[in-house]
Amino acid sequence: MEKKKVTIKDVAKYAQVSPATVSQILNGQAKRFDPKTVARVRQAKEDLGYEANYLARKMVGKQSMMIGILVPDITNPFFNTLVKGIEEVLFQAGFIAILGNGGFDGAKEEQCLFEFAQHGVDGFIIASPSISDKALQTVLTAKKRPYLVLDQKAPDGQSDALLLDDRAGGRLAAEYLAKKGHKKVALVVPKVLPANLKRRMQGFLEYYPEALVLTTEFSKAGGKASVPKLLTTKVSAVFALNDELAFGIYRGLAEHGKQVGSDLSVVGYDNVEMCEYVTPALTTIKQPLTLLGKTAAKLILARLKEPTSAYQQVMLPVELIERASVIQNN
């Protein structure tokens, strides 16, 4: 019952070689050894169920096979879908995911990154839009570990960058609304605007320079809170900067006895699963979240393999998913 942890020594003893030999053979130097020895060692590994201890490995400069992931709120569908994608490819590659929930709190974010580093992660994926350059500088470049900032301009040339085509997303929403005949439209946006949201907004505003801009909390509650103000205006459609906001607007409208669609058309952003399940189903901009996560993981893994290759920047496209929340306006 008391299955002791099997170490490299056990394998060595079992295979009647030295620990050094085991290490060599199990780490790709196999061809330098007598095939018989190699076979014996491999057999021993199997028989004993040996797996190298990552901590000990990390101690001698190898990888710990851990990646730190920092998100602002794991409860938000955007981020948890992302994390799911990340975790999936990480896991397949034998890495594990360390999760930090920054809560939009700069201090905690920085602290998280610090802890990650302290615990020996090999790299970081940062999906917190508000992360400060300072935090990045201090914690990351100082430690010389690769990192990846998602959906945000790389703050410097110190990392790969993975972006979503936010501006196109904003434009898509605008074009669609225009096509549907909406002249007076509003934009519901959070009070503080991270770079990606700013881009969405710009894309939209290029098309509708006169759009009414309403600021609120970046949450369902915020969306709901914006409804009374929305109702005093004569806009026929609203673009919510994410689906959460849109759901809040749905609710606010319902509480005022109004109908989404006939009373006010709405377009969201993200295409979270719930979009299909609200009534009317929400027309939204789809971001390839799972793909984003997977790509992020792949990028960081690739960099770990080739630490010196040129930093790359990849941009993922977005698309409009038409459902039923926007009606023709004349």
Partner DNA sequence: ATGAAAGCGCTAACAA
Partner DNA sequence: TTGTTAGCGCTTTCAT
> How large is the angle between the packed helices 19-26 and 35-48, nearest 10 degrees?
90
Interaction partner, residue 24 (DNA, a second copy, none; CB < 5-8 Å by kind): DNA
Would you tell me which residues interact with a second copy (CB under 8 A)? 1-3, 5, 51, 53-56, 58-59, 64-66, 69, 73-75, 77, 80-81, 83-84, 87-88, 91, 94, 96-101, 108, 111-112, 115-116, 118-120, 141-143, 220, 224, 247-248, 250-251, 254, 273-274, 276-279, 281
In angstroms, what is the minimal distance from the CB of 63 to DNA? 10
Strand arrangement, sheet containing 265-270: 212-216, 185-190, 237-240, 265-270, 283-286, 319-321
Letter string b/e over residues 203-235, b meaning 16 or more CB atoms within 10 A of that residue's CB: bbbebbeebbebebbbbbebbbbbbeebeeeeb
Nearer to a second copy, 174 or 188 (CB): 188
Nearer to DNA, 7 or 132 (CB): 7
Q: Is 37 one of the binding residues for DNA (CB under 7 A)?
A: yes
Among 32, 119, 179, 256, binds DNA (CB under 7 A): 32
Q: Is 119 one of the binding residues for DNA (CB under 7 A)?
A: no
- E-strand ranges in 102-222 read 123-126, 147-150, 160-164, 185-190, 212-216
User: Judged by CB under 7 A, which stretch of 55-63, 99-107, 145-153, 260-268 contacts DNA?
Assistant: 55-63
Interaction partner, residue 33 (DNA, a second copy, none; CB < 5-8 Å by kind): DNA
In angstroms, what is the minimal distance from the CB of 52 to DNA? 4
Instruction: Write the Ramachandran bin of 64: left for phi over 0, alpha for psi from -120 to 50, otherwise beta.
Output: alpha
Interaction partner, residue 175 (a second copy, DNA, none; CB < 5-8 Å by kind): none
In angstroms, what is the minimal distance from the CB of 266 to a second copy? 13
Judged by DSSP in three states, 195 sits in helix
Letter string b/e over residues 50-67, b meaning 16 or more CB atoms within 10 A of that residue's CB: bebebeeebeeeebbbbb
Q: Is 3 one of the binding residues for DNA (CB under 7 A)?
A: no
Pairing mode, strands 283-286 and 319-321: antiparallel
Nearer to DNA, 96 or 192 (CB): 96
The token pair at 98 is 């360390």
Q: How far apart are CA 266 and CA 237, in angstroms?
A: 6
305-314: long-range contacts (C-beta < 8 A, 24 or more apart)? Answer: 307/146, 311/154, 311/157, 311/158, 311/159, 311/160, 311/161, 312/160, 312/161, 313/154, 313/160, 313/161, 313/162, 313/163, 314/160, 314/161, 314/162, 314/163
Among 3, 5, 191, 234, binds DNA (CB under 7 A): 5
In angstroms, what is the minimal distance from the CB of 104 to a second copy? 13
Q: Is 9 one of the binding residues for DNA (CB under 7 A)?
A: yes
Nearer to DNA, 33 or 207 (CB): 33
Number of helices followed by number of strands (H, E) in the chain: 14, 12
Site string for DNA, 57-96 (x = CB under 7 A): x-xxxx----------------------------------
Q: Is 107 one of the binding residues for DNA (CB under 7 A)?
A: no
Q: Is 20 one of the binding residues for DNA (CB under 7 A)?
A: yes
Nearer to DNA, 2 or 210 (CB): 2
The contact set with DNA (CB under 7 A) reads: 5, 7-9, 16-24, 26-27, 32-34, 36-38, 50, 52-53, 56-57, 59-62
